[in-house]
Amino acid sequence: MVRSRSASRSASQFERKKREARSSGVASVGAMNDDLCWRAVVARDERADGTFVFAVRTTGVYCRPSCGARRPRRENVRFFADGQAARAGGFRACKRCRPDGPAPARRRTDLVARTCRRIDAAIVAGDAFPRLADLAAKEGMSPFHLQRTFRASTGLSPRAYGAAVRARRARAALGREPTVTRALFAAGYGSSTRFYANARLGMAPRRHRTGVGERIVFATAPCTLGVVLVASTGRGVCAIHLGGSADAVARELRDRFPRADVAPADAGLADVVREVVAVVDGERTDLALPLDVRGTSFQQRVWRAIGAIPRGATATYGEIAASLRPRSGPRAVARACAANPLAVAVPCHRIVGADGEAKGYRWGRARKAALLARERARKH
């Protein structure tokens, strides 16, 4: 392709800039170091977006470093400081990565935020829940692409996000509205059937609204990691907490079930508490208790996956995320671990960072490290 004199001059200036960067010893993508630029292209490094663009002689197209298109041959690639310089060199912008627009991460964030606002608006207005195809059409993309992008950013599908928003509105409305019927319509449910199926209140709606609550009994006992609390409903153990004092773990339980009737248990819970303490102290290998597990559908999927990790073994947040169907993200798995109310029964202490080190833990990193050490010692 014949280039204009101004294009040649721009290219010459670009080459001079690169030579000056090399001679000054500057080693950064922004300084137009060819080797670093190429490494960023090979790695599709989003951090390099906005610092340079690369152009392909055989296609006449320039792209951002993170472009997902097939990688070109190195000898066909040129690097430019920005899109303006690439266009002056006779290249046109890639229609896939749109190098002159905002970075992909920013575009994803904006897209997800717009989709969330549309879902929120429909729920507030009491309209039917937006169809995935309609949400995707608003963004000019396929339903599959929107679903995948939304889940990668939030860990939830658009429908699961909307269900969580409605459930949160339902809990607020039950404390404000005079009747359950008015509360369910105020929360955006079109019928009582959908409300009772999807609200996930953890107790009957009328009890939640009046504050009478559900009967939850608990007991505490000392253990080698401080104090353990075990709480139970009529269906099974709903909470196992670890803490530094009996008052602290009891307060945590009441904060989790603010509208329930929480009271100390009689001697009937003593055997269960002894069993839990034995597991915490490393004297037993597992629990055989009926559990009343309460959480979102996603949280329960994560907790089931964690429960499959053998004693003495560990898994990373990323490995758990990859094992889910559909797949999720490590951050979403970490949030589900942080919400786990059943210490040792749902062994989220077996989840470690990618480097194998114990990371955050709801009941303290030191307790997590101690539990892992005991399990590994007993395994050997």
pLDDT band at 86 (very low <50, low <70, confident <90, very high): very high
The reported pLDDT for the residue numbered 127 is 67
User: Using CA of residue 270, residue 229, residue 299, residue 119, what is the dihedral sign?
Assistant: positive
| pTM of the shown model | 0.49
pLDDT (mean) for 158-165: 79
State how far the alpha carbon of 78 is from the alpha carbons of 18, 71, 73, in Å: 12, 13, 11
Check pLDDT > 90 for residue 157. Answer: no
Check pLDDT > 70 for residue 205. Answer: no
Domain with CATH 1.10.10.10 in the chain: 297-379
pLDDT band at 179 (very low <50, low <70, confident <90, very high): low
Q: Residue type at 43?
A: A
Percent above pLDDT 90 for the chain: 24
| Alpha-carbon span 52 to 30, nearest angstrom | 7
The reported pLDDT for the residue numbered 219 is 94
Domain with CATH 1.10.10.60 in the chain: 105-210
Domain with CATH 3.30.160.70 in the chain: 215-280
At 77, give phi and psi (nearest 5°).
-105, 140
Percent above pLDDT 70 for the chain: 75
pLDDT (mean) for 255-278: 86
What topology does CATH give the domain 215-280? Double Stranded RNA Binding Domain (3.30.160)
Whether the CB-CB separation of 225 and 245 falls below 8 Å is answered with no
Nearest-Å Rg of the Cα atoms of the chain is 28
Q: In sequence order, what E strands does the chain have? A: 53-56, 61-63, 77-80, 92-93, 215-223, 226-232, 237-243, 261-264, 315-316, 351-352
Domain 5-93: give its CATH architecture: 3-Layer(aba) Sandwich (3.40)
pLDDT (mean) for 173-192: 50
State how far the alpha carbon of 146 is from the alpha carbons of 121, 138, 141, 150, in Å: 18, 10, 7, 6
The reported pLDDT for the residue numbered 379 is 63
Please tell me which residue in 63, 94, 238, 337 is annotated as part of the active site. 63
Annotated catalytic, 63?
A: yes
The reported pLDDT for the residue numbered 250 is 93
95-109, 143-157, 226-240, 349-363: segment of lowest average pLDDT:
95-109
Domain 105-210: give its CATH architecture: Orthogonal Bundle (1.10)
| Domain 297-379 CATH (choose: 1.10.10.10, 1.10.10.60, 1.10.3720.10, 3.40.50.1820) | 1.10.10.10
Please tell me which residue in 94, 238, 337, 348 is annotated as part of the active site. 348
pLDDT band at 202 (very low <50, low <70, confident <90, very high): very low
| Alpha-carbon span 80 to 11, nearest angstrom | 8
Query: Please, which residues have CB within 8 angstroms of residue 212's CB and are 6 or more apart in sequence?
Result: 259, 261
Cα angle: 85, vertex 88, 92; to 5 degrees: 90
